[in-house]
Chains A and B, each alone.
Chain A
Amino acid sequence: MSFFLELVANGVAVGGVYALIALGFVLIYKATSIINFATGEFMMIGAYFFYTFMVLLGLPAVPAFILVMACSALLGLVVERAILRHMLGQPTISIIMVTIGLSSILLGLAELIWTSDFKSFPPLFPRAPVIIGEVVIRSNFFWGFIIAMAAVAAFALLFKYAKVGVAMRATADDQMAAFSMGINVRSMFTVAWAMGAIAAALGGLIIGNIGGIQPNLGHLGLTIFPVVILGGLDSIAGAVVGGFIVGIVENLAGGYLHDYVRGDVKELAPFVVLVLILLIKPYGLFGKQEIERL
Chain B
Amino acid sequence: MSLLAVEDLSLSFGGLRVLSEVSLEAAQGQILAIIGPNGAGKTSILNCIGGFYRPQHGRILFEGRDITRLSPDRRAALGLARTFQNIALYRGMTVLDNIKLGAHAHLRTGLLGGLMYWGPAQREEMALRQEVEEEIIDFLEIESIRKLPVAALAYGLQKRVELARALAMRPRVLLMDEPVAGMNAEETEDMARFILDIKEERGLTVVLIEHDMNVIMDISDYVVVVNFGQKIAEGAPDQVQAHPEVIKAYLGQKRAGA
Does B241 lie at the interface of the complex (its beta carbon under 8 Å from any beta carbon of A)? no
Question: In the bound complex, how far is the Cα of B258 from the Cα of A32, in angstroms?
Answer: 50
> 1/0 contact trace for A123-146 toward B, CB 8 Å?
000000000000000000000000
- Nearest CB in chain A: distance from B233 CB, A: 26
Does B158 lie at the interface of the complex (its beta carbon under 8 Å from any beta carbon of A)? no
- Which residues of A are found within 8 Å of B13, using beta-carbon distances? 291
Question: In the bound complex, how far is the Cα of B177 from the Cα of A293, in angstroms?
Answer: 13
- Which residues of A are found within 8 Å of B85, using beta-carbon distances? 294
Does B47 lie at the interface of the complex (its beta carbon under 8 Å from any beta carbon of A)? yes
Does B52 lie at the interface of the complex (its beta carbon under 8 Å from any beta carbon of A)? yes
Give the residues from 266 to 294 in chain A that come closer than 8 angstroms, CB to CB, to chain B: 291-294
Number of A-B contacts (CB under 8 A): 11
- Which residues of A are found within 8 Å of B47, using beta-carbon distances? 294
Give the residues from 231 to 246 in chain B that come closer than 8 angstroms, CB to CB, to chain A: none
Question: In the bound complex, how far is the Cα of B15 from the Cα of A291, in angstroms?
Answer: 13
> 1/0 contact trace for B47-64 toward A, CB 8 Å?
100001000000000000
Which residue of A is nearest B43, CB measured?
A294
Interface size on B, residues (CB 8 A): 9
- Nearest CB in chain A: distance from B16 CB, A: 9
> 1/0 contact trace for B26-62 toward A, CB 8 Å?
0000000000000000010001000010000000000
Which residue of A is nearest B16, CB measured?
A291
| Among A291, A292, A293, A294, residue most surrounded by chain B Cβ atoms (within 10 Å) | A294
- Nearest CB in chain B: distance from A292 CB, A: 8
> 1/0 contact trace for B69-100 toward A, CB 8 Å?
00000000000000011101000000000000
- Nearest CB in chain B: distance from A48 CB, A: 42
Question: In the bound complex, how far is the Cα of B52 from the Cα of A291, in angstroms?
Answer: 11
- Which residues of B are found within 8 Å of A292, using beta-carbon distances? 52
Question: In the bound complex, how far is the Cα of B47 from the Cα of A294, in angstroms?
Answer: 8
Which residue of B is nearest A292, CB measured?
B52
- Nearest CB in chain A: distance from B163 CB, A: 16
Which residue of A is nearest B84, CB measured?
A294
Give the residues from 82 to 140 in chain B that come closer than 8 angstroms, CB to CB, to chain A: 84-86, 88
Give the residues from 164 to 222 in chain A that come closer than 8 angstroms, CB to CB, to chain B: none
- Nearest CB in chain B: distance from A290 CB, A: 11
Which residue of B is nearest A291, CB measured?
B13
- Which residues of B are found within 8 Å of A291, using beta-carbon distances? 13
> 1/0 contact trace for B146-184 toward A, CB 8 Å?
000000000000000000000000000000010000000
- Which residues of A are found within 8 Å of B52, using beta-carbon distances? 292, 294
Question: In the bound complex, how far is the Cα of B54 from the Cα of A292, in angstroms?
Answer: 12
- Nearest CB in chain A: distance from B231 CB, A: 21
Question: In the bound complex, how far is the Cα of B86 from the Cα of A293, in angstroms?
Answer: 10
- Which residues of A are found within 8 Å of B88, using beta-carbon distances? 294
Question: In the bound complex, how far is the Cα of B85 from the Cα of A195, in angstroms?
Answer: 40
Question: In the bound complex, how far is the Cα of B88 from the Cα of A292, in angstroms?
Answer: 13
- Nearest CB in chain A: distance from B114 CB, A: 24
- Nearest CB in chain B: distance from A151 CB, A: 36
- Which residues of A are found within 8 Å of B177, using beta-carbon distances? 294
Question: In the bound complex, how far is the Cα of B40 from the Cα of A184, in angstroms?
Answer: 34
Question: In the bound complex, how far is the Cα of B52 from the Cα of A292, in angstroms?
Answer: 9
- Nearest CB in chain B: distance from A240 CB, A: 27
- Which residues of B are found within 8 Å of A294, using beta-carbon distances? 43, 47, 52, 84-86, 88, 177
Question: In the bound complex, how far is the Cα of B43 from the Cα of A292, in angstroms?
Answer: 12
- Nearest CB in chain B: distance from A291 CB, A: 6
- Nearest CB in chain A: distance from B86 CB, A: 8
Which residue of A is nearest B50, CB measured?
A294
- Nearest CB in chain A: distance from B151 CB, A: 14
Question: In the bound complex, how far is the Cα of B47 from the Cα of A293, in angstroms?
Answer: 9
- Nearest CB in chain A: distance from B146 CB, A: 26
Question: In the bound complex, how far is the Cα of B14 from the Cα of A291, in angstroms?
Answer: 10
Which residue of A is nearest B177, CB measured?
A294
Question: In the bound complex, how far is the Cα of B85 from the Cα of A292, in angstroms?
Answer: 14
Question: In the bound complex, how far is the Cα of B64 from the Cα of A138, in angstroms?
Answer: 74
- Which residues of B are found within 8 Å of A293, using beta-carbon distances? 43
- Which residues of A are found within 8 Å of B43, using beta-carbon distances? 293-294
Question: In the bound complex, how far is the Cα of B156 from the Cα of A181, in angstroms?
Answer: 33
- Nearest CB in chain A: distance from B181 CB, A: 14
Question: In the bound complex, how far is the Cα of B88 from the Cα of A291, in angstroms?
Answer: 17
- Nearest CB in chain A: distance from B174 CB, A: 16
Which residue of A is nearest B47, CB measured?
A294
Which residue of A is nearest B88, CB measured?
A294
Question: In the bound complex, how far is the Cα of B86 from the Cα of A208, in angstroms?
Answer: 52
Question: In the bound complex, how far is the Cα of B72 from the Cα of A292, in angstroms?
Answer: 15
- Nearest CB in chain A: distance from B191 CB, A: 20
Give the residues from 229 to 252 in chain A that come closer than 8 angstroms, CB to CB, to chain B: none
- Nearest CB in chain B: distance from A228 CB, A: 25
- Nearest CB in chain B: distance from A283 CB, A: 16
For the complex with contacts A292-B52, A294-B52, A294-B88, 7 further pairs of A-B residues with Cβ separation under 8 Å are: A291-B13, A294-B43, A294-B47, A294-B84, A294-B85, A294-B86, A294-B177
Chosen A-B contacts, 6 in total, with CB atoms closer than 8 Å, are: A292-B52, A294-B52, A294-B84, A294-B85, A294-B86, A294-B88
Smallest CB-CB A-B distances: 5 pairs: A291-B13, A294-B84, A294-B52, A294-B47, A294-B88
